[in-house]
Structure 1
Amino acid sequence: MSDIVLVTGGGGFIGSNLLLALQSLYPAEQLITIDNFQSSDFRNLEGYRGDLILADLHEDQWRRWIPAKKVKLVFHLASLTDTTVLDPKAHLLCNVEGWRRLLDHFAQVSTRIIYASSASVYGIRPGVQKVGDPLRPANAYAFSKVLMENLANSFCSQNPDRVLVGLRYFNVYGPREAHKRKSASMAWQLAQQIRNQKRVRIFVDGHQRRDFVYIHDAVQATVAAAHAPLSPGHWRFNVGSGRSHSFLELVTFLAHTLGERAEVEFFECPYPFYQTHTEADLFETRRFLGFEPAFSLEKGLADYHQSGWLV
Structure 2
Amino acid sequence: MRYIDDDLKDKTILITGGAGFIGSNLAFYFQENHPDAKVVILDSFRNQETLSNGNLKSFGHFKNLIGFLGEVISGDINDKALLQSLEKNYKFDYIFHEAAISDTTAQEQDLMIKTNVNAYADLLNLAQKHGANMIYASSAATYGNAPSPQRVGREAPQNVYGFSKLCMDNLSREYMKKSNISIVGLRYFNVYGPREYFKNSTASMVLQFGHQILCGKNPRLFEDSDKILRDFIYIEDVISANIKAMNPLKSGIFNVGTAKARSFQDIVDILQRELGTNLTCEYIKNPFIGSYQFHTEADIASTTEVLGYVPRFELEDGIKAYVEEIRRVYNEEVKK
Runs of 5+ in structure 2 lacking a partner? 1-8, 46-57, 331-336
Q: Which residue of structure 2 aligns with residue 269 of structure 1?
A: 286
Runs of 5+ in structure 1 lacking a partner? none
Q: Which residue of structure 2 aligns with residue 94 of structure 1?
A: 115
DSSP-derived class of the 2:207 partner? helix
Contact 1:81 1:183 (C-alpha < 8 Å) held by counterparts: no
2:208 maps to 1:189: yes
Correspondence list, 1:274-293, <5 A: 274-293=292-311
Contact 2:274 2:323 (C-alpha < 8 Å) held by counterparts: yes
2:231 maps to 1:211: yes
Q: Deviations over 1:246-277 (max 9, x none)?
A: 11111111111111123222333344432111
**1:95 counterpart letter in structure 2:** N
2:39 and 2:64 mapped to 1: Cα distance?
A: 16
Q: Which residue of structure 1 aligns with residue 139 of structure 2?
A: 118
Contact 1:114 1:226 (C-alpha < 8 Å) held by counterparts: yes
Q: TM-score, normalised by structure 1?
A: 0.92
Offset, 1:236: 1.1
2:86 and 2:150 mapped to 1: Cα distance?
A: 39
2:232 maps to 1:198: no
2:184 maps to 1:176: no
Contact 2:173 2:252 (C-alpha < 8 Å) held by counterparts: no
Q: Deviations over 1:4-53 (max 9, x none)?
A: 11111010001100110012333222110110012111111111111111
1:11 and 1:190 mapped to 2: Cα distance?
A: 24
Q: Which residue of structure 2 aligns with residue 40 of structure 1?
A: 60
Q: Which residue of structure 1 aligns with residue 77 of structure 2?
A: 57
**1:127 counterpart letter in structure 2:** S
1:249 and 1:226 mapped to 2: Cα distance?
A: 34
**2:213 counterpart letter in structure 1:** I
1:208 and 1:14 mapped to 2: Cα distance?
A: 25
2:20 and 2:91 mapped to 1: Cα distance?
A: 24
Aligned residues: 306
Contact 1:73 1:226 (C-alpha < 8 Å) held by counterparts: yes
2:111 and 2:216 mapped to 1: Cα distance?
A: 36
Q: Which residue of structure 2 aligns with residue 226 of structure 1?
A: 246
Which has the bigger relative contact order, CA under 8 A and spacing at least 6? 1
2:25 to 14, 17, 27: 17
**2:246 counterpart letter in structure 1:** A
2:319 to 296, 301, 310: 301
Change (3 A) 1:54 1:281: same
2:166 maps to 1:146: yes
DSSP-derived class of the 1:260 partner? coil
Change (3 A) 1:18 1:208: same
Q: TM-score, normalised by structure 2?
A: 0.86
1:86 and 1:213 mapped to 2: Cα distance?
A: 27
1:119 and 1:68 mapped to 2: Cα distance?
A: 35
Q: Deviations over 1:193-227 (max 9, x none)?
A: 11112232222321210111000111011101113
